[in-house]
C-alpha cells in the first residue's frame, strides 16, 4: 500500500503551505516508507508516500502522461495494466509501474475509464490544462480513501483520516465504487453490476467455473517484484488462498527470484486454535511457515497505537485488528512487503452463522449484498490499515471484481445452507475445490467450520480485553455514556474504552461520524433479527459459541440450540449493528 494526499484550491499557496502539505503527507509514511513525492501546480498539491511493490526502481510517484499535463497519485495495484497498455500503443510510458496506465487512460478516454481497471485502488488525478481533477475508489473499497473540505473552499483527499482531520472542517469516507469529478461537483457510482441492485440472480452453479475463476483471482495477485506470502489462519478461506498460490509458485517464473516455497504467516496466543490449524495446513502444503506468538498484555499495550492506525472504535474491528497489527510488524521484519489474505469470502458466500436461518433465497441474497456493501467499513478497513501500519500490503483475491460478479450471479438457492442435502455454509466454494484426484486440501480441512479471527488467535484474548476495559471504565461512566457520546453511544465498557482512545486522536464530529453504528446500520441486521428470534439473548459480537454451532443449527431440539446459533450470528458484526439489533428486538 501507499499513502496519498491531494489538496485543490488552496487560498494560500506559499512555501509555508507546501511545508504543511509535506508535514501532513508524512503522517502517512507508515503506508509507504520507500520514497516520497510531491507535485505542486499553482494552488493544487498531490503528495505520495510510496511502498514499492511493482517496479521499485522507476515507479516513484506522482506519475505523469507524456508532457506532464496530467498528474496522478495512486494507492493500489492495477492487475491488468499490461493488457491496458496494449490498448494505448500511441502513448509513451516512462516507468514500469502498473499505476502509470491511469494517466494515459484518462488522456485516451476521459473520465469514463475507471471501470476498465482491474485491481484495488484509490487515486487522485489532476489535469493541469484546465485545473480539473477526479478521485476514484475501487469497487469494494479495499483501499481506503477520505474526502474533506477546508474553510477556504479547498477540497482534500487522503488515504487516511489523520492526514486531513486537523485541516478540514468536515471530512468523510469516500464511497467505494464511486468517482468524484470537479467538473460535475458530485460523487457518482462507476461500479454498477447487476447484483448491486439486489436483483435475484439465476445463473446455474458450475463448480469448475468457480474454481478456475478463484485461481485466476489468486494468480493475478502474485504480480510483484518483492518477497510475499500468505496470511494463514488454518480456516477454509486462507487455506484455499495458500493452496492455490503454493501450486502456482512451484512452477512459476517468480520462483526463480524468490524461491518455489511459499511463505505463510500466522499469529496467536500460545496454544490457540489458529496456530494449530495453520500449522496443519502449512505442513500439508509444504510451505515455509512462520508462527508468531503474542501475549494478552502485549496486545493490550498496542491498543492505542492500533486505534490510531485503524481509525475506528468498532469493537470487533479493534479486537481483530490488534493481532493482525502485531503480526504485520513481524512480517515486515522478515523483509516481506506483500501478503495475500482471505477477507470477503463470508460476505459473498453467506458464511456467517446466522445465514443458517435465512428463510429463502431472496432474503439470503439481499443480505449478502448488504454485507458486501459494508465491507469497506469493517474487514477491508481492518486488513488494509493493520498491515499498512508497518508498510505491508494485503491483497484479497476473494474480492476480485470478476470473481465477485461471478459468485453474485449464481442462483442463491445453491448458497443456502441445506443440511438435508449435506450442504453446510459456503458449500459451493468447498465443493468447487473438492478434488479427489489432485486434492487442494484434506477433506477435514476443506470442510472445517469457521472460527472467528479474534477468538481463533486465543479465547483468552477477548476476555483480557473485557477485563482491561472494566479496570478503566466505571459503572458511572457507562451510565452517563449517552451524555458524553450522544452519537453512536457505547453500550459496553469495552466499547466505551475504545471510544475514549479514538476521541483523543480524532476529536472532531466528522471523525466519529466515519464509524458506522446506531440506527444507520439497523437495516443491516433487520433480516438477521427476523431470522433468529432469540437474537437479544447474547449481545457479545465475538461469536464466542462458534464451535459446534453449525451442528446445532441443523437440529431444532429446543431453545438451547437456537441460542447457540444466536451467539455465532454476531461474528464480525459491528458494535452498532449488535446494539441496533437489541433495540429492534
Give catalytic status of residue 369 as yes or no: no
Angle, helices 296-310 vs 315-333, to 10°: value is 100
Q: Specify the pairing of strand 44-50 against strand 3-8.
A: antiparallel
| Torsion (CA) 107, 113, 118, 119 in degrees, nearest 10 | 70
φ/ψ (deg, to 5) at 395 = -110, 140
Sole residue written with cell 469516507? 173
Q: Which three cell numbers stand for residue 492?
A: 459496553
- C-alpha torsion angle, residues 505, 511, 515, 520 (rounded to 10): 150
Question: 504: how many CB neighbours lie within 10 A of its CB?
Answer: 11
Q: Could you tell me if 255 and 244 are in contact, meaning their C-beta atoms sit under 8 angstroms apart?
A: no
Return the exposure string of 556-570: e unless at least 16 CB atoms fall within 10 Å of the residue's CB, then b: eeeeebbbbbbbbbb
Tell whether omega for the bond before 62 is within 30 degrees of 0, i.e. cis. Answer: yes
Q: 2, 10, 168, 266: which one is catalytic?
A: 2
- SS3 letters for 160-218? CHHHCCCCCCEEEECCCCEEEECCCCEEEECCCCHHHHCCCCCECCCHHHHHHHHHHHH
Q: What is the sign of the dihedral through the CA atoms of 527, 530, 533 and 539?
A: positive
- For the annotated catalytic residues, the residue numbers are 2
Amino acid at each position: 500500500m501507499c499513502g496519498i494526499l491531494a489538496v485543490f484550491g488552496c487560498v494560500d499557496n506559499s512555501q509555508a503551505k507546501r511545508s504543511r502539505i509535506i508535514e501532513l503527507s508524512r503522517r502517512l509514511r507508515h503506508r509507504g516508507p520507500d520514497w516520497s513525492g510531491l507535485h505542486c501546480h499553482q494552488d493544487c498539491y498531490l503528495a505520495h508516500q510510496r511502498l514499492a511493490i511493482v517496479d521499485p526502481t522507476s515507479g516513484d510517484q506522482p506519475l505523469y502522461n507524456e508532457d506532464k499535463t496530467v498528474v496522478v497519485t495512486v494507492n493500489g495495484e492495477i492487475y491488468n495494466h499490461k493488457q491496458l497498455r496494449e490498448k494505448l500503443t500511441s502513448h509513451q510510458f516512462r516507468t514500469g509501474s502498473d499505476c502509470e496506465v491511469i494517466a494515459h487512460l484518462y488522456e485516451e478516454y476521459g473520465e469514463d475509464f475507471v471501470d476498465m481497471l482491474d485491481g484495488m485502488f484509490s487515486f487522485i488525478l489532476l489535469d493541469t490544462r484546465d485545473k480539473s481533477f477526479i478521485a476514484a475508489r475501487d469497487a469494494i473499497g479495499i483501499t481506503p480513501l477520505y474526502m474533506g473540505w477546508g474553510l477556504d473552499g479547498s477540497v482534500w483527499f487522503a488515504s487516511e483520516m489523520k492526514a486531513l482531520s486537523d485541516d478540514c472542517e468536515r471530512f468523510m469516507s469516500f464511497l467505494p465504487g464511486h468517482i468524484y469529478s470537479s467538473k460535475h461537483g458530485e460523487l457518482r457510482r462507476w461500479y454498477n453490476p447487476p447484483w448491486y441492485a439486489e436483483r435475484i440472480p439465476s445463473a446455474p452453479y458450475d463448480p469448475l467455473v468457480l474454481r478456475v475463476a478463484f485461481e485466476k483471482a489468486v494468480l493475478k495477485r502474485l504480480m510483484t517484484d518483492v518477497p510475499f506470502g500468505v496470511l494463514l489462519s488454518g480456516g477454509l478461506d486462507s487455506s484455499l488462498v495458500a493452496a492455490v498460490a503454493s501450486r502456482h509458485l512451484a512452477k512459476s517464473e517468480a520462483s526463480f527470484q524468490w524461491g518455489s516455497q511459499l511463505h505463510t504467516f500466522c499469529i496467536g496466543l500460545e496454544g490457540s486454535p489458529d496456530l494449530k490449524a495453520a500449522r496443519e495446513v502449512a505442513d500439508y502444503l509444504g510451505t515455509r511457515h512462520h508462527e508468531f506468538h503474542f501475549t494478552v498484555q502485549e496486545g493490550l499495550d498496542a491498543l492505542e497505537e492500533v486505534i490510531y492506525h485503524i481509525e475506528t472504535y468498532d469493537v470487533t474491528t479493534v479486537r481483530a485488528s490488534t493481532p493482525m497489527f502485531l503480526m504485520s510488524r513481524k512480517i515486515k521484519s522478515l523483509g516481506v512487503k506483500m501478503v495475500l489474505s482471505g477477507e470477503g469470502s463470508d460476505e459473498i458466500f453467506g458464511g456467517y452463522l446466522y445465514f443458517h436461518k435465512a428463510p429463502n433465497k431472496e432474503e439470503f441474497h439481499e443480505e449478502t449484498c448488504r454485507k458486501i456493501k459494508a465491507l469497506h467499513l469493517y474487514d477491508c478497513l481492518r486488513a488494509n490499515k493493520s498491515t499498512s501500519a508497518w508498510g505491508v500490503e494485503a491483497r484479497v483475491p476473494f474480492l476480485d471484481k470478476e470473481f465477485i460478479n461471478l459468485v453474485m450471479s449464481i442462483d442463491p438457492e445453491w448458497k443456502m445452507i441445506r443440511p438435508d442435502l449435506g450442504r453446510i455454509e459456503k458449500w459451493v466454494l468447498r465443493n468447487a475445490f473438492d478434488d479427489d484426484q489432485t486434492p487442494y486440501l484434506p477433506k477435514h480441512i476443506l470442510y472445517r467450520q469457521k472460527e472467528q479471527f479474534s477468538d481463533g488467535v486465543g479465547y483468552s484474548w477477548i476476555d483480557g480485553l473485557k477485563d482491561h476495559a472494566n479496570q478503566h471504565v466505571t459503572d458511572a461512566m457507562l451510565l452517563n455514556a449517552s451524555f458524553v457520546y450522544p452519537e453512536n453511544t457505547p453500550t459496553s465498557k469495552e466499547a466505551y474504552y475504545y471510544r475514549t482512545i479514538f476521541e483523543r486522536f480524532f476529536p472532531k464530529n466528522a471523525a466519529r461520524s466515519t464509524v458506522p453504528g446506531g440506527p444507520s446500520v439497523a437495516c443491516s441486521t433487520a433480516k438477521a433479527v427476523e431470522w433468529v428470534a432469540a437474537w437479544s439473548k447474547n449481545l457479545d459480537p465475538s461469536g464466542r459459541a462458534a464451535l459446534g454451532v453449525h451442528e446445532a443449527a441443523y437440529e431444532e431440539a429446543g431453545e438451547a440450540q437456537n441460542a447457540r446459533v444466536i451467539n455465532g450470528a454476531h461474528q464480525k458484526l459491528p458494535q452498532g449493528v449488535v446494539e441496533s439489533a437489541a433495540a429492534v428486538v
